[in-house]
């Protein structure tokens, strides 16, 4: 009888540890997913506002700071984007391919620029409706300067 009780106690301890570890893993995973979702929502909102700005003004901001400033009056643009950083505090990547599209990308939770693959979060702003013949035909790739 004592052996059975000890065995049962051991099983309960193992089960309790399993539940505890599972909860911690779920918490950490949920937090990372929350940051991914937060960054994605912010970039999609910014994408829509920036597309509207480029169509109305027939002008493409050349840097992320200029783009954020151009739409900063819009209350729907998240503070996260106007800071030039993603939910992990890393600088966003802003690339303009004149005549084609604007790409805004977060390098995601792994902290590596995977050029839009793996866990990177990217949105594209199409420029097909713009008449940009007066603009330079070169590409611009920049990250927003930080206060460091």
Residues 111-122 have pLDDT tens digits of 998 887 888 999
Question: What is the maximum alpha-carbon separation in the chain?
Answer: 89
Report pLDDT for 19: 64
pLDDT tens digit sequence for 58-105: 888 888 888 888 887 776 666 777 788 899 999 999 998 866 888 999
Give the residue extent of every domain in the chain: 2-143
Question: Where would I find the beta strands (DSSP E) of 5-120?
Answer: 93-97, 101-106
Angle at 39 between CA 34 and CA 41, to 5 degrees: 95
């Amino acid at each position: 009888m004592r052996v059975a009780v000890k065995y049962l106690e051991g099983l309960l301890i193992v089960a309790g540890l399993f539940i505890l570890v599972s909860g911690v893993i779920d918490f950490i995973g949920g937090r990372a997913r929350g940051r991914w979702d937060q960054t994605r929502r912010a970039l999609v909102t910014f994408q829509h506002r920036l597309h509207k700005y480029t169509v109305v003004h027939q002008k493409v901001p050349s840097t992320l700071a200029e783009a954020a400033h151009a739409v900063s009056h819009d209350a729907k643009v998240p503070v996260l984007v106007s800071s030039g950083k993603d939910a992990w505090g890393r600088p966003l990547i802003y690339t303009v391919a004149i005549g084609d599209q604007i790409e805004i990308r977060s390098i995601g939770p792994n902290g590596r620029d995977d050029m839009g693959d793996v866990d990177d979060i990217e949105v594209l702003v199409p420029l097909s409706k713009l008449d940009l013949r007066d603009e330079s035909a070169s590409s611009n790739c920049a990250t927003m300067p930080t206060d460091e």
